[in-house]
A and B are shown apart, each in its own frame.
Chain A
Amino acid sequence: MPEPAVTVELAALHGLTKEEWERILAIIGRTPTYAELGVFSVMWSEHCSYKSSRIHLKRFPTEGPHVLQGPGENAGVVDIGDGWAVSFKMESHNHPSYIEPYQGAATGVGGILRDVFTMGARPIANLNALFFGQPDHPKTRHLIRGVVKGIGDYGNCVGVPTVGGQVLFHPCYDGNILVNAFTLGVLRSDRIFRGYASGVGNPVLYVGSKTGRDGIHGATMASAEFSEETEEKRPTVQVGDPFTEKLLIEACLDLMAEDVIVGIQDMGAAGLTSSSFEMAGRAGSGVSLDLDLVPMRETGMTPYEILLSESQERMLIVARQGRENEVISIFAKWGLDAVAIGEVTDTGRAEIYFQGDKVVDIPVAPVSDQAPVYDRPSAAPENHEVAPALDLTKIPKRNPQETLLAIVGHPDLCSRRWVYTQYDQSVRTNTILGSGSDAALVRIKGTDKAVAMSVDVNPRYCKLDPYQGGRLAVAEAARNVACVGAKPLAITDCLNFGNPEKPEVMWEFSRAVDGLADAVRALETPVVSGNVSFYNETNGNGVYPTPTVGMVGLLENVSWRKTPWFSKDGDAIVLLGENRGHLGGSQYLWVLFGIEAGTPPPLDLEREKALQSLMCLAAREDLVDSMHDCSEGGLLVAVAECCLAPRSDVGAKLALDSDGLRLSALLYGEDASRVVATCSRSKVDALAGAAGKAGVPMAVIGEVGGRDLVAQIDGKTVVDLPIDEIRMAWEGGLAGVVG
């Protein structure tokens, strides 16, 4: 097939602007070849180049005494002491998952796993954050079934447990679901591997699956809006092969136990192109590659196709000179291709050959790290200052019992059992706490330590106020980690937004980044890795700003862990933090009235930090029997969740003072920085002493016991429900969605 003539029009079809085209001409001093045009189009796509987000991401704090590797590598690495470290990252796979939910979600898991084991880490935990359209939208059932099965089939087969996550439904995701996948791995802190192509003459090896035509232009697809024709893009979705991924994990970890390689990188988005350019770019070197040596599973592929293929389960490795046979024999043990396809050079150029012709000859640096950077116009939406006001006097009063059942049975807050039973949660025998706990807790064998993880964001808060929503996402994720007793250490993030060419989307993005940055600075949990996904829009309708936060914390001794559930009759139920009855942006208003108005709850980060320190202390000193975050849904919902222990119902009786708050505000308000805890009566004073010292308000609000959830306000019983009735509503919440 003859190659098309390379023109400015063809460049435009590749998503390159006229300015970018002229920049390409200036960089290489001639008209690019077709293959070169392909290289520029993917490397300068939004997905690979972060051209719209880069200047904003600079505002993130990324350093800390425990950070061993910050953003810019395949994944971040954080020291957890005693010679151990954890590597983690979260990444979106939104566009592919909407087009083809099973493969899109599966390959999302595969990609994030490779980012983590590339660092030299053994993956030990997967989490995910999933955002679907309305529960009764005609596509939702198909999408959630496909995504959950895709995540399960991939993670289950590779043998990495899926231990937690978040699932939300909202009409803003009707045409753009979000699939954010998180992986954490464990490694020795002095054995970190990076994506460097250094050492002139070192061989460049292609390892893993063979190359086919799948996924060509996946990165470019992820950098444009959806329209009616999007269904036609199905061929750009990659196909996952978890069995090969499993072999690749074992082969790479075997390889890394030896001293034979200098650099390694996943061939993810933009495949061989991005991996080779990025590795050479980081090292300031050049590469020479011969495409005739690339293992192929189809015939007749052009250099353009080979360079842009996003076939899965492939890696690029730079070995030490003369050690390539050791690499090849380790991969042979696992039945995988490992082929030297080129070498590192000192030219600073990427020179790529195909059937004897040089088809690519371009300088590396301008492509990989001098990609265009845009400071796109940003403007608050017109109505922002008068954001949908909340007039509580117009909200009718509802029966509090029916309200509780409606909220705990709503698809946003009900039991996720249908989802997580499809995930292997316990393979590798490290999972101490999985789905259902505030944070997942996975032990590190050979130590007393365990790592806690939580993924969180409240898109409604972010829509109402992206800055505040960003701060609250970090605070809640950290609080969840502290609920199991762990100290929050660092975050990864997945920033899912609409079209960055719209000023109001850029404004949302910039404000959310500021919110995340302020919170991670205050809580000392720097950003060590992450990903940006723009263009989550269909026919001009964008998703709510969705900056998903993946928080990682450390529990020094796994025996200190706490769970959310009430367990001992007679225990005092304690509220750490303060009820102020904030209903703006609440689940209560949304579920009962379909209202999204007001402002998200205020957040004082110093108070939040004091609360979390107290929680860690209370766990360590065993002052409490349980701790559970009180946020979405409010106080009564949090208490109900504490009653729904995995293998038994536990009753509770609350005695609250209204302090002038209306009933719904007291029971369903979503004030930040609150935790429901229990402790034996004998420890109430000690806990109160610790809380007083930390400056955290504390009140005894009830007692564990019985078979019912009873709530009294100012001495009057307003709720009295058998726990099994609450459980029935909670467990049945997804049935209507998933069928």
Chain B
Amino acid sequence: MKVAVVQFWGSNCDHDAEQWSSRLFGLDTEIAWFRDRDLHGADLVILPGGFSYGDYLRCGAMAARTPVMDAVVEHARKGGLVLGICNGFQVLCEVGLLPGALLRNSGLTFLCQDVHLRCETVDSPFTRSIPENAVLRIPIAHGDGNYFTDAETLKRLKGEDRIAFRYVDPKGEIDPDWNVNGSLDAIAGILSEGRNVLGMMPHPERASEALMGSADGAVILESAIETLETAHA
């Protein structure tokens, strides 16, 4: 299987995503430049975190209009796997592959800290290997991670079981104190209608080895690998 990590001007977790995929999982990984429409035949596309175009316009708005995103959208329409992390999630919302928007954190400051995530559905290519009711400890690092959408879309997301992760306390309970950016319904990550696109604000690539303080994020890439291997088998 092949992985492409998209690099925009201002991406800064491209290296981390590439290392996550290649160094920790030994996957064949290439960088896809934003000016190209070439995804190098990737099975999984990762839109990394960072500050594409400085976030000088709305987060992700510029990146969503780059040539490479045409290829990413096409890949997604064909059922290909796309994982957007942090700024990548913002780009997915801006390009219309995921509904809603990421607003300024409710406390108005950038926040970098560990959060606890409850996996809300194992019915997705990115969460299938996560044990039921598992609580993952993974860091966030963002100023605009406050998920918002209209009531109807929220209802649909719930009805279609498309909420992948919620912010919870260490025991796995919803608690406003642990929903640190003020996200609607404590949403930390959502799936597309076809379930092949996942956007999430926390950074699993920063929590995939014990040396970094947590290895809880590894299971997300493990799930994707299992999905692709099963499909290829």
Could you tell me which A residues sit within 8 Å of B by CB distance?
Answer: 149, 152-153, 156-159, 241-244, 246-247, 334-335, 420-429, 431-432, 443, 445, 558
Give complex CA distance A425, B139 in Å.
10
Give complex CA distance A152, B112 in Å.
10
Please, could you name 13 A-B residue pairs with CB atoms under 8 Å apart, sorted by A? A149-B110, A157-B12, A242-B54, A422-B109, A424-B112, A426-B112, A426-B141, A426-B203, A429-B20, A432-B211, A432-B212, A432-B213, A445-B23
- Contact yes or no, B15 A428, CB < 8 A: yes
Give complex CA distance A421, B9 in Å.
25
- Contact yes or no, B54 A422, CB < 8 A: no
Q: Which of A149, A157, A420, A443 has the most CB of B within 10 A?
A: A157
- Contact yes or no, A157 B211, CB < 8 A: no
Give complex CA distance A152, B110 in Å.
8
Residues of A within 8 A of B211 (CB): 432, 443, 558
- Contact yes or no, A428 B10, CB < 8 A: no
State which of B54, B109, B112, B212 has its C-beta within 8 Å of the C-beta of A149.
Answer: B109
Which residue of the partner chain B has the closest CB to A245?
B54
Which residue of the partner chain A has the closest CB to B12?
A159
**B52 shortest CB reach to chain A, Å:** 9
Known contacts A422-B109, A426-B139, A158 near B212 by CB under 8 Å: no
Within 8 A of A (CB), among B116-164: 139, 141, 143
**B11 shortest CB reach to chain A, Å:** 8
Which residue of the partner chain A has the closest CB to B51?
A157
Instruction: Say yes or no for B38: interface residue by CB 8 A criterion.
Output: no
Give complex CA distance A158, B12 in Å.
7
Known contacts A242-B54, A429-B19, A153 near B110 by CB under 8 Å: yes
- Contact yes or no, B212 A426, CB < 8 A: yes
Within 8 A of A (CB), among B1-49: 9-10, 12-13, 15-16, 19-20, 23, 49
Instruction: Say yes or no for B178: interface residue by CB 8 A criterion.
Output: no
- Contact yes or no, B16 A428, CB < 8 A: yes
- Contact yes or no, B9 A335, CB < 8 A: yes
Give complex CA distance A422, B211 in Å.
23
Residues of B within 8 A of A421 (CB): 109-113
Given A156-B112, A246-B12, A429-B19: 18 more A-B contacts, CB < 8 Å: A149-B109, A152-B110, A159-B50, A243-B10, A246-B51, A335-B9, A421-B113, A422-B109, A422-B112, A424-B141, A426-B203, A426-B206, A426-B212, A428-B16, A429-B206, A443-B211, A445-B19, A558-B211
- Contact yes or no, B212 A156, CB < 8 A: no
**B9 shortest CB reach to chain A, Å:** 6
Question: Which label, helix, strand, loop or mixed, suits the secondary structure of the B interface?
Answer: mixed
Instruction: Say yes or no for B205: interface residue by CB 8 A criterion.
Output: yes
- Contact yes or no, A429 B111, CB < 8 A: no
- Contact yes or no, B53 A243, CB < 8 A: yes
- Contact yes or no, B12 A427, CB < 8 A: yes
Q: What 10 pairs between A and B have smallest CB-CB spacing?
A: A159-B12, A243-B54, A157-B51, A424-B141, A429-B16, A426-B206, A424-B112, A421-B113, A422-B110, A422-B109
**A677 shortest CB reach to chain B, Å:** 22
Residues of A within 8 A of B19 (CB): 429, 445
- Contact yes or no, B112 A243, CB < 8 A: no
State which of A156, A335, A429 has its C-beta within 8 Å of the C-beta of B51.
Answer: A156
Known contacts A421-B113, A426-B139, A427-B141, A247 near B12 by CB under 8 Å: no
Instruction: Say yes or no for B55: interface residue by CB 8 A criterion.
Output: yes
**A504 shortest CB reach to chain B, Å:** 41
- 0/1 string, B198-213, CB within 8 A of A gives 1: 0000010110000111
Residues of B within 8 A of A431 (CB): 212
Residues of B within 8 A of A428 (CB): 15-16
**A450 shortest CB reach to chain B, Å:** 9
Residues of B within 8 A of A158 (CB): 12
Give complex CA distance A157, B54 in Å.
7
State which of B9, B109, B206, B213 has its C-beta within 8 Å of the C-beta of A247.
Answer: B9
State which of B20, B110, B113, B206 has its C-beta within 8 Å of the C-beta of A156.
Answer: B110
Give complex CA distance A424, B50 in Å.
11
Within 8 A of A (CB), among B66-116: 109-113
Give complex CA distance A420, B49 in Å.
19
Known contacts A243-B53, A445-B19, A427 near B111 by CB under 8 Å: no
- Contact yes or no, A425 B112, CB < 8 A: yes
Give complex CA distance A244, B111 in Å.
23
- Contact yes or no, B54 A156, CB < 8 A: no
Give complex CA distance A247, B113 in Å.
26
**A382 shortest CB reach to chain B, Å:** 47
Residues of B within 8 A of A149 (CB): 109-110
Within 8 A of A (CB), among B173-227: 203, 205-206, 211-213
Residues of B within 8 A of A152 (CB): 109-110
Which residue of the partner chain B has the closest CB to A148?
B109
Residues of B within 8 A of A426 (CB): 112, 139, 141, 203, 206, 212
- Contact yes or no, A429 B212, CB < 8 A: yes
Residues of B within 8 A of A153 (CB): 110
**B216 shortest CB reach to chain A, Å:** 13
Give complex CA distance A156, B142 in Å.
9
- Contact yes or no, B51 A243, CB < 8 A: yes
**B218 shortest CB reach to chain A, Å:** 12
**A544 shortest CB reach to chain B, Å:** 30
Which residue of the partner chain B has the closest CB to A430?
B212
**A454 shortest CB reach to chain B, Å:** 20
Residues of A within 8 A of B141 (CB): 156, 424-427
Q: Which of A159, A335, A432, A443 has the most CB of B within 10 A?
A: A159
Give complex CA distance A243, B55 in Å.
8
Give complex CA distance A429, B23 in Å.
12
Give complex CA distance A157, B50 in Å.
7
Give complex CA distance A424, B142 in Å.
8
Give complex CA distance A423, B13 in Å.
15
Give complex CA distance A153, B139 in Å.
18
Residues of A within 8 A of B111 (CB): 421-422
Residues of B within 8 A of A334 (CB): 9
Residues of A within 8 A of B54 (CB): 157, 241-244, 246
Give complex CA distance A424, B15 in Å.
15
Residues of B within 8 A of A159 (CB): 12-13, 50-51
Give complex CA distance A423, B143 in Å.
10
Residues of A within 8 A of B49 (CB): 427
**B180 shortest CB reach to chain A, Å:** 9
**B53 shortest CB reach to chain A, Å:** 7
Residues of A within 8 A of B15 (CB): 428
State which of B55, B113, B205 has its C-beta within 8 Å of the C-beta of A429.
Answer: B205
Which residue of the partner chain B has the closest CB to A443?
B211
Residues of A within 8 A of B212 (CB): 426, 429, 431-432
Give complex CA distance A158, B15 in Å.
13
Give complex CA distance A484, B16 in Å.
25
Give complex CA distance A189, B143 in Å.
37
**B74 shortest CB reach to chain A, Å:** 25
Give complex CA distance A619, B112 in Å.
29
Residues of B within 8 A of A432 (CB): 211-213
**A599 shortest CB reach to chain B, Å:** 41
**B183 shortest CB reach to chain A, Å:** 17
Residues of A within 8 A of B143 (CB): 156
**A297 shortest CB reach to chain B, Å:** 15
**A393 shortest CB reach to chain B, Å:** 47
Give complex CA distance A149, B105 in Å.
14
Give complex CA distance A661, B13 in Å.
54
